[in-house]
Chains A and B, each alone.
Chain A
Amino acid sequence: MNFIEYLRSDWPAVLNALGEHVRISLVSVGIAIVIAVPLAILLTRHTRPARIVLAVAGVIQTIPGLVMMGIGLLLFGLGRLPAIIVLAAYGLLPILQNTYTGIHEVDSLYTEAARGIGMTGAQILLHVEMPIALPAVMSGIRMSLVYTISWATLAALIGAGGLGDFIWTGLSSYDTNQILAGAIPASLLAIAAGALLDVIQRIVTPRGLKKRKGASA
């Protein structure tokens, strides 16, 4: 049976897995945003603990995704919830780093001017710092979403479901059709999510701040 025939007979299952994959990824990144953004804002107000937290986050990020899944399995067992906990915990790191750096690097010129015209701390955060940092925050969210879609395929190992199931089953039984049925939609999903977030990032960038993409140092 070739791949086209396989898809013709099994497309409802693939579509179902795709939907599951999207849901798992969105829920995980949603949780990551809700935790990481406030935490990052808090850290910009306390720079000394911030250094420690960011250093730890940097080390955690070097832990391979497969290991995180293993840790999740040992701590929380099999299932969708353990998978989402691991994905959210891992996905919040880039958002945390980017939000912190974004706000931290807002020129004090702007915040002092804002204070000068009588804005309160909360107003400065909401009307000055957040808009200027938004492109950085969004690029953190983009990274987090693309990574999470990727790691969600690994999370199938601990029972997340989604497209990873096809890849894992395919790999363990050398079934090329199943591998393709999981790997191709997962790749397209990640590429589409990245492209979508690029567009959103361009839209939310304040008009005065549009600049070209630079390299990562």
Chain B
Amino acid sequence: MTALLTATAEHLAMTAAGVAVATVVGLLFGMLIARHRALATPVLTIADIIQTIPSLALLALLMVAFGLGDNTVIIGLSLYSLLPIIRNTYTGLNSVSPAVREAARGMGMSGTQSLRMVELPLALPMILSGVRIAFVTALGTAVIGVLIGSGGLGYIIYRGIQSLSWSMIIEGTIPVVLLSLLVQYGVEALQKLSKRRRKRHV
């Protein structure tokens, strides 16, 4: 039981690290292409191509470049998570009505202030939804990390497959599924909360 808990914690930590890196990078790129629309198509296309690469192929290629271990998996997970976060940040910022943006400017806010205090908060539910999609996908992808030497639940699952053991496969899978559902519904609840707050303020 403790081995399972350790593996679950490892799995969650690896996934969270990957998604956290992707969130920072994705937010920056999302804000960039919302300001400079001409960059939107190339940036989104590149992120889309990265996400299209089969997960096993991407991790194997990264292993050739960066070697075995958790860090390589984290790099892979963050690359995978970029698309939903960039796309949703971009769409969220774009859907802020120009009237609101102009009102912020009219109050004397600078571009950065308007972005930080008005536009990003309004885009938050959309951004959260991107993070949610990225997180759920990454939880599943992290399982493959075992093949390039990372720990986590993939280790239990892979050993289960190798020893043809139903119980080990199920033991490794249940935490992945539960974590996915938890993230799914947890973030949806957060989204509702941030939408409600928005309504109260506006």
Interface of A toward B, CB cutoff 8 Å: 59, 62-67, 69-71, 73-74, 146, 149-154, 157, 164, 167, 170-171, 176, 179-180, 182-184, 186-187, 190-191, 194, 214-217
Contact = CB atoms under 8 A, between A and B. Distances in A.
A179 B55 CA distance: 13
Interface string B172-202: 1100110011001000000000000000000
B64 interface: yes
A171 B1 CA distance: 30
A64 B147 contact: no
29 contacts: A62-B140, A63-B177, A64-B144, A66-B144, A66-B157, A67-B143, A67-B172, A67-B176, A70-B160, A73-B161, A74-B166, A153-B56, A153-B57, A154-B144, A167-B60, A171-B63, A171-B148, A179-B64, A180-B61, A182-B60, A187-B52, A187-B57, A187-B61, A190-B52, A190-B53, A191-B52, A215-B90, A216-B129, A217-B129
Contacts of A187: 52-54, 57-58, 61
A64 B140 contact: yes
Contacts of A183: 54, 56-58, 60-61
Contacts of A190: 52-54, 57
Give the secondary structure class of A's interface: helix
Given A66-B157, A171-B148, A187-B58, A59 B177 contact: yes
Contact of B88 (A67, A73, A179, A216): A216
A217 B126 contact: yes
Interface residues of B, number: 46
Nearest to B62: A183
Interface of B: 48-49, 52-58, 60-61, 63-64, 84, 87-88, 90-92, 126, 129-130, 133, 136, 139-141, 143-144, 147-148, 154, 157-158, 160-161, 164, 166, 169, 172-173, 176-177, 180-181, 184
Contacts of A146: 52
Contacts of A150: 53-57
A70 B161 contact: yes
Nearest to A186: B57
Contacts of A63: 140, 173, 176-177
User: What are the 7 tightest A-B residue pairs by CB atom distance, in nearest-first order?
Assistant: A150-B54, A215-B91, A183-B57, A62-B180, A70-B161, A64-B143, A64-B140
A215 B126 contact: yes
A73 B92 CA distance: 43
Contact of A182 (B53, B57, B91, B139): B57
A8 to B, nearest CB: 19
A65 B173 CA distance: 11
A63 B157 CA distance: 11
A187 B180 CA distance: 26
Contacts of B53: 150, 187, 190-191
A216 B144 contact: no
A179 B60 contact: yes
B157 A171 contact: no
A194 B60 contact: no
B177 A149 contact: no
